[in-house]
Each structure stands twice: as structure tokens, then as C-alpha cells.
Amino acid sequence: MSGPIETTVRSPRSMAWARRRHAFGAFCREFSRSRSGMVGLGFLVVIVVLALLAPVIAPAWMLDLTKLLDQPRFAPPSLDHPLGTDDQGRELWVRMIWGARVSLLVGFAATAVSMIIGTVVGIAAGHFTGWTGGLLMRIIDFFLVLPSLILAIVLSVVLSRGVWTIVIAIGLTSWAGTARVVRAQTLSVESRDYIERARVLGAGHWHIIVKHLLPAVLPLVLANTTLTVGSAIIAESTLSFLGLGDATLQSWGSVLKNSMDVSAATAGYWWYVLVPGIAIVLVVLAFTLVGRAVETIVNPTLRSR
Amino acid sequence: MRSRHRKHLIRAMSLFAAAALIVAPAAAANAAPTHVHAADPSDSPSSGDDAKTMRIATSGFVDTFNPFVSIYLLPTNLIRYMYENLVQNSDVDGSPTKGLADHWDVTDEGKTWTFTLQDDLEWSDGEPITSADVKYTFDQMMSVPELSVANGNLVTNFDSVDAPDDKTVVINLKEAQAPNPAIEIPIVPEHIWSEISNPAEYANDADVVGSGPFLLESYKANQFITLKANPTFWDGAPKIDKIQYVYYTNSDAQVQALRSGDVDFVSGLTPTQYDALKDAEGITVHSGIGRRYSSFSFNSGLKTVDGRPFGTGNPALQDVEVRQAIRLGTDSDTLLEKVLGGLGDPGTSFIPASYPQWTLPTDDAVVKEFAYDPEKAKAKLDAAGWTVGEDGIRVKDGQKLSIRLTIDASDPTELAISQYFQPWMKEIGIDVQVVSTDSDTISAAAVSGDYDIYLSGWSIGPDPDYQLGINTCAALPTETDGTGATNQDGWCNAEFDKMYQEQRTETDPAKREAIVHDMLVLNYTDTAQITYWYASGLEAYRSDRFTDFRMMPADGGIIANQSGYWGFKDVAPVGAEGDGAAASEGPNVGLIVTGVIIAVIVIGGVIYFVVRRRKSADVE
Amino acid sequence: MSSTVPPTEAVILEEQGEASVRSSPAVKFALTKIGGALISLAMVILLGFFAFKILPGDPVAKLAREHPMSPEQIAQLRAQLGLDKPLWQQFGDYLVNVFTLNFGESYVYKQSVASLIGDYFWNTILLTGTSAVIAIALGLWLGQKAGWRPGSRFDKVTSGTSLVWWSVPTFWLALILLMVFGGTLHWFPTGGMVSPNSPDDALGKVLDVIWHMVLPVTTMVAVVYAQYVMVMRASVMEEKSADYLVTARAKGLRDDDLRTRHAVPNALLPTVTLVFLHIGGLVAGAVTVETVFSWPGLGKLTYQAIQGPDLPLLQGTFVVFSAIIIFTNLVADFVYRRLDPRVRRG
């Protein structure tokens, strides 16, 4: 039960913000009821904190090969070396923590690019009827049809190698799915009465889009975002594995590529292959759980399940 | 309802019975040992007695098997086995030795070379090998540009080739030269090649007529290459029947295949794979002296042959003191030990240790003078006017000493090297920016001069003349986009050029070696490049199935990828009748498993449908 | 990647919205769809050319480093590869070539790209086709059983495991399977499509190929089946609350029959298009799987084209992969139209 009922007059804006805060609180309470969602979120928080604290927990000198000349190479996991060491003597847990930074950064950045493009194009495709809408729909369909990994490979080969190339490659190849969903939602919202009303009252495109469509679409986009981050992380590791990433950076994908290059699998250095892979699986799973929990809240038709 | 029910049941049962009838015998047939198929005398490359077929794992690209055109490593290697040269490279030290030619005379101080062929040489189809074949081969390379793609540079000094009689070949050169002109050129049968309408496009990939120990029998792009033994080879027929190259995309799969007996020979192992295979049963590992050098190649101020500078190289590297300081600050021994696992030789100059008469020895005075010493490096940089800034990076005239190191993104060794190099340079006050990109971009940048340092390396042939030649000023590019010539490091030194001309005409071997030594010392001091190692070739083979691999150089050299055919020429199977029992065990288990899976699916599906029908009640 | 996100409800709703397009007369429908597919293909081809022309790099220079060559030899090689012509001329050549299905010559293999792709095309179709059929069948079956009783243990286990499998990177799973089943246990071959000494009889050859297929197909199915489970599950859950099912249940029909004879066939309709939509992800997965298992297909060609880098080959495989997916989607449109009787009116 909330506090005493206020009787003072408030501006429309502060009322809107109060409503949003209330909705957000309801969302959080709803979310906390989903066990899988909370587990996923908790895990992600731990990983993000570890990644942010990387320079503190695992200072940069631990990755400087010239300082590690006395470290054992390919040491199996033990108390001295919690996750084992790699071919140049670096501690694997150090590489994993620093790798989390790059993998998560690439995941978030690529998703952001994808989401922004997807939302903008999706709303435009749903809102504008006739020629423009049809053309945008065609473009969305075209990008849906392109095999995303192959296109990402092409882009990575063509542009100079580096982290931002991967971000662009993943972003440019995965926005179409979001755009499709956003378009569908836009179409269903467009047919509602209050939009009709706003238009009759003289609202222009911009007003309708920003004030009505965007808020209606955003929860869905949010659900989609968390799911996309997971697949962006997998995409990054795949592109690194194929040799298209920035080899000088630590990322979980490049650690796996290193393990391939030094034939860790053949030689029996199982920790080198298993640890980064399991990390990817767990993080992606966590994002998926969170995403599905959010989706359940956002889409009421799914709620009764 | 009941009768329809039963009809379905009967139909299902008969289907299952039919499936079982097909699957079971097939599984059983394939479970039998493979020499059931040896009785089949078909010509397909897959049949033949297992024990005398040596299988080699590969992933090398093939452009063509045409000896006039092919330039890729794998096919050029196989061409060495297919065609004997006029003069072969000795396995002892790579010097010229008997090939098609039995002996030769040099007259006119190196301008005329007369070769006498061996007696009774035969092509694999029975035709005699004569001087006409030799003359034909050289003439084609000299007169037809499309046929000079592979080895054209070796005949640029040829004026004419005469064949006064069947066993004599005379090569008249434009200018006298010390290196033997007849090495490294495969001789083709004139009676076959003169009949081909367009020799430059002839693929030469099936039933090849040749003179070497093995001949190409068949080729399936990216899957198999099959060579068969040549009984007419002058040094005796090989002891095995066939060599088969089997394609695998990655080296891990190759190692797995070696372990399970699917292949018998693997080369190009990584140090880790090599270490892991050391204790494997029935497998012998081999680390051989390689013929490739690896270096940091400097952009010491690229210019065209007429002196116009080009490229975006950092001008700081034009100062020899800075380059020497970088050499002093690089611990190549640690690189060899840590990155290569010690599986190589320390590098000095661009002629590897596998050519002991030409290489610059590691105990040479100049090598000792520039051994790893960071303090000396710092002193040199201080003396050159580079003062240490606040962030530890040196500055001079407002410019930071920051250089780019360009590496190949797909090469993990180059990556590891950069990860040592960067901190070492930071310690002496140089900031290194690592640029990791694909090999095409690197090649383009190397040509156009858009680099400061990149990691380079060449495979060196038995005579150093070519490699020395591409270090002369005459080999500099003619255009400012870097094109017009092939050059090793873009370095130019007039004194080096003078000595090059001297060694080219010096017929006394000891004197020639001394001149080459001085040239390498000059190159070392001027620090055109820093050679950090000569990687060993890491190979492994099933010693329980094959033996008598020969190395080149004979004392600790490599087996595959030699500049000669010694590696597999004398290979013999181990034991009388190698059963191949180990190899056939794999297919049995797998095929039985597959047969079982199919049977289970079929049975399961049938049972499911039968049970469902029985349960169905009133539907509507 | 667009095709690897588990689909949401909204997409299913949108599919039902698309039904209006499909209810036009047959000929008009066919022309519209085929026309659309051709336009997509044309755009892919254009994209294929221009994307690669941005790339700097000189494959000839790289070759020259490995093999001693004189300047004349290099010029000769460059002329052979057609690298010395101006850009507009190269584009003109490209267009002409594409219409004659000539994708140029691979830098690395020195073979025509079209013949290389021709050789390898069916191997990839075999692999991805088999994986697709198994993944779809498995996914749909599990999904409809799970969706019928949401929250049950079966549902929880199915959803849980398929989510975990979906989070696994394809290449990593391939590596693990190769390591364990190929390397350590020797149950399956370590690579390739046929054994070097394959049996001579037809059935033996078939079984040999199947034996080589087990590991790659398992990898592809494991990573992809989850999508179909989710799609089918959502669709069945949507269908469950329909009125006609209430009627049928009241009439006394068994639960299983309700599910298999009524709910599932109707739930299948929106699923069909989504299933075909996600084929793209399956086909792209072929790249990493074929690489790890050395399967001689388009995916392995793509990987080797990256290593080169071999631009004509990469161009060719890009166009072919896209064409496969465009074609599959076209088939999906026609299949949907056939399946949904509500649509065939006009």
C-alpha cells in the first residue's frame, strides 16, 4: 500500500514520471518472482562486477609475457593455478576475467547497434503506410534472408580487422529480427483507438512515434535485447574462432582460438578448451533466462503459462 | 476397424523385416577386414594393398601440377618427385649432384656449361630420356612467357641451349656465373609436351609421364592426391607402391588421424602437438633443421631504384643506431625458447643454418657484438638524441618514438612474438603499436611501404644467389607504388652490391663463401632485418608401418618439403605383410554403430505406429 | 543474429497478419513471390561485388613472397587474374560472368569458382538437409508435447535442456565431440566425408558416408533444435485455449488424440514459416561444422576462402548461401499457402 494520497496539483510531466516509476517498480516486483530470471540476473551481475574490477583483481602485469618467464606452461588446474595456465604461462582465470570485458563489451555494443537500427526501421516500417512502408518491409525481408554469419564474415574480411569491425558486422546482420518484431507490434498498436484520436487531434508523425509508439514498443525491444546479447556473444566467439577477430585482445572467443592453435584438445589440456566454452554457455544462458522472464512480463498473453 | 488394424500391422512388420535384411548384411560385410576388397583389381585410387601405400595428411592448396606454372608449396614439392632435374641437390648439404646429368664441365670461366647425361635413362612410358627433352624444356621457358611463371627467373641469364648429341647438353650463358644454372628446373618429356596444344593450361593431373621416383596417378581437388611408384627411376624403383595425400582442414584432425592410423605421416606440427606425440605408441616424432628464416623486417627508408622515396615508414627507423638499438633490446633466444619451445635454431642472417657453408654462424664476432643487452640499447638511443619522456616513451624534436608492428592475424606464432616484443620495446622506451591484419593486406602494405616493421620470412634454396640478389639496390622497385621488382627488405647498400657481383662470378668455392660471409656481416651490422630463428620442421610418422625416411640435410634435416626428393624416395614398409589390422578396426565399430542406430530408428518408429493404432478409439 | 533468437509471440501474431497476402489468386501469388525472390537475389549479387571491391590487398604480392619470381612473372600472374583492369570494367565483367554463372577463378585453388562450388554444393545440402529434417522433426515433436502441458516436468526438462543447447557455440560443441568421440574413443572418423579406402559397393559407400555424417549432424542438430522446440511450444500453447478444443474435450476425446489430431495440425501452420525462416541459421552453422570436421562442403570452402583471403571464392559462396536461403523461403511461402485452406479462397 503506497503512502498518503497527495492532493497538490502536479504538472503532467511529473505525473508521467511518477507513473513510470510505479510501473518500473511493478516490473521489478514481477521480475523478482521469476526464479530463473533472478538466477540469470544474479549471475550476470557477478560477471559484470568481475569484469569491471579486472584491473584490480588481475593487474595488467599478469598478462605481460616478459614478466611470466618462470611460469609453468600448460599447468593443470590446482590450488596454485585455479583454472590452469596457457601455452605462454598466463593464468587462465586472468585471461577469462579480462576476456569478459571484451566479450561483454562486444555483445552489448553489437546489440545496441542492432537494437537501434531495428527499432528505428521497424517503427518506420509499421507507421508509414504505402510506398515507404512497403520499401522498408522489403529491406527488412532482404536482411532476414541473408545468412547472417556469412554476411558477417564478408564484412569482417572486407573491413580492417578489429573489435569495431566485429561490432558493426554483428550489428548490421542481426537488426532485421528486431525490426520485424517491432513492426508487428507497431502495426497492432497503430490500430488502437488512442492513436486514432491523437491523429485526429492533429498530432504529427514525430509526436506519435516518440510519445506513443516508442513507449509501446520499448518493453518488447527490451525483451528482445537481452536475448540478442546472448547471440551476439556467440557470434563474436565464432568470428574470433574463424580468425576474424582482433587477436591482440583478450576475449573468450580468442582464448578458444588460441586453444585451437596450440592443439590443446589433442594434447589433453582440457581446461583450455572447456573453461572458455562453459563460460560462454553460462553467460548466454543467463541472458536468455533474463530475456524470457522479461518477455513473460512484457507480453501478458504469455503470462498465464 | 480390426481388419484394417491388422493390415497396417502386417505392412509395418514386413517393412521392418525388409529393412533388417538390408542393413544387417551390409553391416556385416563392412565389418570384415579390408583385404576382402584387395582382391578387386580395380584401378581406383582407393584400392590396393594397404601396407605398401603411405598416406600423408595435408591441407596444402594446389594451383596446378604443371611444372612450368605451379608455384604453390605442395604441388612444387610433388613435382620434385615426379620429374628429375638435370642437376639434383645433394641431401648432404644441398650442393649440386647427379641428376639426369652424370657430370658437367665449366668452361669460359663460367659462361659455358656442358652436361653429359647418364646412360640408359628412361621415361616412365619406356621412351628414352635424351638431350632433346632438356633442350625442349629450357627453350620453352625462354621463349614462351606463360611457361616462365614458375621458374623463369632461373633462365634469365641463358643465351642459348644446344644439344649436339643425345647425351650432351650445352648451356651458353649471357654472362659468366658461379652457381650451377641447371638446378631446380624439372625436365619434361618432349614427346608428350610437344603434342599438347596449349602447354601453359595443361593441368597435368592424371597419369603423368615422368622420370622421378613417384608419378602423379590421380588428383581429386581438396580430397586426395595419389602418386604411384615409378619402376624406371634411374636410382632404383621405390619400395612402396603408392603415396596418397589425404586432405584435412586443420592440423588437429591430422594429428587425430595419425594416432588412429588413418594416415602415416604428418608435417607442420605445432610445438604442442609435437610434445604430445612424443610418447605415442608406434609413432616417431622428428624435428629437422628447416630451410626457412623468420625475421622482423624493417622499413629502413624505402626508395625506388632511381632514388625516389615512398611509403609511410617512420623516419626514426632510417637511423641505423635506432635499428641496432632495437636489435639489442630483442631477446631472440627467449623467443625461440618460449614461443617455439626450443624447436629451432637461433637466427643470425637470412641464410638458414641448414646450409652450413653459407650461413652466418652464431659465434661470429658481429653476432656477439649485438647480443641482447637492454642497457646497451638504452645507451645507444640516448646517444642518438632520444630522451625518455614522462610516460617512459622516448621523445626527440617533439616526436614520440612510436612504431607499428604489423602481424598476420591468422598466425598465432606472430601474435605470441608481438606479445613479447611490445614489453621489451617499452622497457627501452619505444612504443610499439601492434597492427593485426590479414596476409593480403600485409603483402600490399609491404609492397607500398605502409609499414614500420612486419614479420617476414622466406624459404631459401640451396644456392644463395637468388636471395642475395633480391637484397641489392638493383632489385628495388621501379615505381613509387612499390611495384616493378621483388625485394627482400627494401634495403640498399652500394658495397653489398659490389660484393654480390664478385660472388656471382667467383668460381672458387672457398673464396665465394668468404665473400658471402662478408655480405651477411654487412647486412647484419646495418640491421636491415632481425632474424630471430630458423624454425625446425616438426614431423611425425608411424614408425610401426614405414621406415627409411631420409633427411635433408642428411644430418638432422627435414623429411618433407625438402629441396629434393630424398625424403620418401627410399621409404620401405615395416615387416613382411603389414596387416593394417589397426586401421580396419575403426570402420567396424563405427559402421556397426551406424547400422544399429538406423535399425533402432526403424524398429522404434514401427513399434510406435503399431502401438498408436491399437490405442485409437472413437475419433470424432 | 536475426535467425538465432528464440522467436517471440509477436512474430507468430505477425505471421497471422501475413495471411491476407496469401489469400490472393494463385497466379498473382506465384508471380509476386517469385518476383520478390529474384529481386532479393539480384541485390545479393550486387552486394557481393561491391563489398569485395572495398578490400585492399594484393594476392599476387603474397604469392611472390613464397616463391622466387621475377617482375615479369608477377606481371604475368596479375594479368591472368584480371587485377589490372579499371573498376568499372571489372564490374562489367562481373555482371556478364554472373549471368553465365561464371564466378571467376579462385585465387587459391586456380579452378573456376563455379566448378568448385558445383563439386561441393551437394555435400553441404546432404549435411544441412539431414540436420534440418532431424532438428525440425525432433524440435516439433518435443515442442508440441511440452506445450500441451506447460509447467509439467517434461516441459521444464525439455525447455531447460533445449535452452542450454541453444547457448552452446556450434564450433565449440563440434570440437568437443571431435575430441571425445573421434579422437579418444575412435568411434567415429576424425574428418572428411569418405574414407580413403572406401568400400566399392554402393551400399557400403552409403554407410561409409553416414558413418562420417554422424558427428557433424549431431552437432548441428543439438545447437539448432531448440528454436523449433520453442516455436512449436508457443504455438501449441496459443492453440490450447481455442474453443473447438473445449468442444472436443467435452465430447470425451482422449487427451493425446486431442493433441495430435486437432491442436498440433492447427498449431503447425504459423510454425511452418518460422521454421523455414530459421533455416538460415542452420545453413550458416555449416561453416564452422564443416571446418572442424573437414567435411568437403561450401562451409569448408568459405573457411579456406577466409584464410587466403580468396575473394572470388568468398564472393561465390556468399551468393550461393544466400540463394539457398532465398529459395527455401520461397518454398516456405508456397508450402504455407498449400497447407492453410483458409487462404486458398481467392
Provide mean pLDDT across the span B589-606.
70
Q: For residue A183, give how far its alpha carbon lies from the nearest alpha carbon of chain B (Å).
A: 39
- At residue B32, does pLDDT exceed 60? no
Half-sphere exposure of B162 (CA within 13 A, CB side): 8
- At residue B417, does pLDDT exceed 90? yes
Provide mean pLDDT across the span A288-295.
86
* Distances B601 to B27, C172, C177 between C-alpha atoms, Å: 16, 28, 22
Q: In Å, how far from its chain's centre is CA A285?
A: 12
* Alpha helices, H only, A128-192: 130-145, 148-158, 163-190
Nearest to B228 by CA among B208, B248, B202: B208
Nearest to A252 by CA among A242, A270, A273, A237: A237
- At residue B584, does pLDDT exceed 50? no
Q: What is the 3-state secondary structure (H, E, C) of B4-35?
A: HHHHHHHHHHHHHHHHHHHHHHHHHHHHCCHH
Q: Name the DSSP letter for residue B586.
A: H
Angle at B322 between CA B319 and CA B326, to 5 degrees: 145
- Between C178 and C83, the more confident residue is C178
Q: At residue B156, what is the residue type?
A: T
- At residue A270, does pLDDT exceed 90? no
- At residue A126, does pLDDT exceed 70? yes
First to last CA, chain B: 15
Q: Is A273 on the interface with B (CB under 8 A)?
A: no
Q: For residue A243, give how far its alpha carbon lies from the nearest alpha carbon of chain C (Å).
A: 8
Nearest to C193 by CA among C283, C122, C133, C132: C122
- pLDDT score recorded for residue B419: 92
Provide mean pLDDT across the span A80-87.
86
* Distances B554 to B90, B473, B551, B559 between C-alpha atoms, Å: 9, 36, 5, 10
Indicate the pLDDT class of residue C151, thresholds 50, 70 and 90: confident
Q: For residue C236, give how far its alpha carbon lies from the nearest alpha carbon of chain B (Å).
A: 20
Calculate the dihedral angle through the C-alpha atoms of C27, C32, C35, C40, rounding to the nearest 10 degrees.
-150
Give the bridge partners for B103, in sequence order. Answer: B116
Q: What are phi and psi of A9, to 5 degrees?
A: -80, 135
Chain A residue with minimal CA distance to B405?
A: A248
Establish, for the pair of chains B and C, how many residue pairs have beta carbons separated by less than 8 Å. 199
For residue C71, is the peptide bond before it cis, meaning its omega torsion is within 30 degrees of 0?
Answer: no
Look-up of cell digits 600472374: C77
C326 with A145: Cβ contact below 8 A: yes
- Between C70 and B133, the more confident residue is B133
Q: What is the pLDDT of residues C209-268, one digit of tens each?
A: 888 888 899 999 998 888 888 888 888 887 777 777 778 788 887 777 777 777 777 777
H/E element, B258 = helix B251-260
- Please tell me the least confidently modeled range out of B264-273, B532-541, C184-193: C184-193
Provide mean pLDDT across the span C99-124.
74
Is the separation of the CB atoms in B148 and B158 below 8 Å? no
H/E element, B432 = strand B431-437
Nearest to B194 by CA among B140, B156, B153, B158: B140
**Which of C179-206 are b and which e, b meaning 16 or more Cβ less than 10 Å from the residue's Cβ?**
bebbbeebbbbbbbbbbbbbbeeeebee
Q: Name the DSSP letter for residue A255.
A: H
- pLDDT score recorded for residue C80: 62
Q: What are phi and psi of B218, to 5 degrees?
A: -155, 160
- pLDDT score recorded for residue B22: 45
- Chain C neighbors of A158, CB-CB under 8 A: 51-52, 54-55
- Please tell me the least confidently modeled range out of A284-288, B23-27, B80-84, C109-113: B23-27
Q: Indicate the burial class of A194 (C-beta count within 10 angstroms; 0-12, 13-18, 19 or more).
A: exposed
A161 with B415: Cβ contact below 8 A: no
Region of residue A33 (left: phi > 0; alpha: psi -120 to 50; beta: else): alpha
A145 with C3: Cβ contact below 8 A: no
Helix (H, G, I), strand (E, B) or coil at A262: coil
Chain C residue with minimal CA distance to B293?
A: C66
Is the separation of the CB atoms in B519 and B499 below 8 Å? yes
- pLDDT score recorded for residue B382: 93
Distance CA A100, CA B434 (A): 22
For residue C25, is the peptide bond before it cis, meaning its omega torsion is within 30 degrees of 0?
Answer: no
Name, in order, each residue with C-beta under 8 angstroms of B213's C-beta and a sequence gap of 6 or more.
B81, B229, B230, B233, B235, B238, B565, B568, B569
Establish, for the pair of chains A and C, how many residue pairs have beta carbons separated by less than 8 Å. 179
pLDDT above 70 covers what percent of chain B?
87
Indicate the pLDDT class of residue B114, thresholds 50, 70 and 90: very high
Name, in order, each residue with C-beta under 8 angstroms of A285's C-beta and a sequence gap of 6 or more.
A40, A230, C163, C164, C167
Indicate the pLDDT class of residue B27, thresholds 50, 70 and 90: very low
Q: For residue C305, give how far its alpha carbon lies from the nearest alpha carbon of chain A (Å).
A: 10
Provide mean pLDDT across the span C24-39.
80
Is the ipTM reported for this complex over the cut 0.90? no
- Chain B neighbors of A263, CB-CB under 8 A: 251-252, 255, 270, 272-273, 276
B47 with C200: Cβ contact below 8 A: yes
Provide the chain B residues 91-120 that lie in CB contact (below 8 A) with chain C. none
- At residue B504, does pLDDT exceed 80? yes
Is the separation of the CB atoms in B576 and C197 below 8 Å? no
Q: What is the pLDDT of residues B177-199, one digit of tens each?
A: 888 898 889 999 999 999 998 88
Q: At residue C179, what is the residue type?
A: M
A238 with C171: Cβ contact below 8 A: yes
- pLDDT score recorded for residue B528: 92
Q: Is B223 on the interface with C (CB under 8 A)?
A: yes
Q: Which three cell numbers stand for residue A220?
A: 518488447
Indicate the pLDDT class of residue B394, thresholds 50, 70 and 90: very high
- At residue B505, does pLDDT exceed 90? no
Q: What is the pLDDT of residues B260-300, one digit of tens each?
A: 788 899 998 888 888 888 888 899 999 998 888 999 999 99
Distance CA C205, CA C195 (A): 9
Q: What is the 3-state secondary structure (H, E, C) of C290-335?
A: HHHCCCCCHHHHHHHHHHCCCHHHHHHHHHHHHHHHHHHHHHHHHH
- Chain B neighbors of A248, CB-CB under 8 A: 415, 418-419, 434, 436
- At residue B15, does pLDDT exceed 60? no
Distance CA B72, CA B82 (A): 15
Nearest to C132 by CA among C38, C224, C4, C21: C224
Indicate the pLDDT class of residue C7, thresholds 50, 70 and 90: very low
Nearest to A253 by CA among A280, A230, A287: A280
Neighbors of chain C with 3 or more C-beta pairs under 8 Å: A, B
Distance CA B184, CA B165 (A): 23
Distance CA B437, CA B616 (A): 65
Q: What is the pLDDT of residues C64-106, one digit of tens each?
A: 555 656 666 666 666 666 666 666 777 777 677 666 666 666 7
- Chain A neighbors of C4, CB-CB under 8 A: 148, 231, 234
- pLDDT score recorded for residue B30: 39
Nearest to B492 by CA among B515, B476, B516, B469: B476
Helix (H, G, I), strand (E, B) or coil at A165: helix
pLDDT above 90 covers what percent of chain B?
45
Q: What is the pLDDT of residues B555-574, one digit of tens each?
A: 888 888 888 899 899 999 88
Q: In Å, how far from its chain's centre is CA B40?
A: 36
Q: What are phi and psi of B455, to 5 degrees?
A: -90, 120
Q: Name the DSSP letter for residue A226.
A: H
- Between B3 and B301, the more confident residue is B301
- At residue A47, does pLDDT exceed 90? yes
- Between A126 and C78, the more confident residue is A126
- pLDDT score recorded for residue B36: 23
Distance CA C279, CA A147 (A): 9
Establish, for the pair of chains A and B, how many residue pairs have beta carbons separated by less than 8 Å. 71
**DSSP letters spanning B464-496:** THHHHHTTSGGGS-SSTTS-SS--SSS---HHH
- pLDDT score recorded for residue A3: 61
Q: What is the largest CA-CA distance in chain C?
A: 89
- Please tell me the least confidently modeled range out of A7-11, A70-74, C153-157, C208-212: A7-11
- Chain A neighbors of C2, CB-CB under 8 A: 143-144, 148, 173-178, 180
Tally of CB atoms within 10 A around B412: 19
- At residue C1, does pLDDT exceed 60? no
Q: Which three cell numbers stand for residue B211?
A: 622420370
**Highest-scoring range by mean pLDDT, A144-153, B121-130, C18-27, C142-151:** B121-130
- Please tell me the least confidently modeled range out of A76-85, B56-65, B402-411, C247-256: C247-256
- pLDDT score recorded for residue B4: 54
Distance CA A122, CA A213 (A): 11
- At residue C176, does pLDDT exceed 70? yes
- Between A286 and C230, the more confident residue is A286
- pLDDT score recorded for residue C101: 65
Look-up of cell digits 609511410: B312
Q: Which three cell numbers stand for residue B303?
A: 626508395
- Please tell me the least confidently modeled range out of A213-217, B260-264, B273-277, C199-203: C199-203
- Please tell me the least confidently modeled range out of A114-128, A215-229, B356-370: A215-229
- Between B363 and C47, the more confident residue is B363
Q: At residue B596, what is the residue type?
A: V
Indicate the pLDDT class of residue B40, thresholds 50, 70 and 90: very low
- pLDDT score recorded for residue B314: 92
- Chain C neighbors of B617, CB-CB under 8 A: 254, 257
B437 with A157: Cβ contact below 8 A: no
Distance CA C103, CA C94 (A): 8
A74 with B272: Cβ contact below 8 A: yes
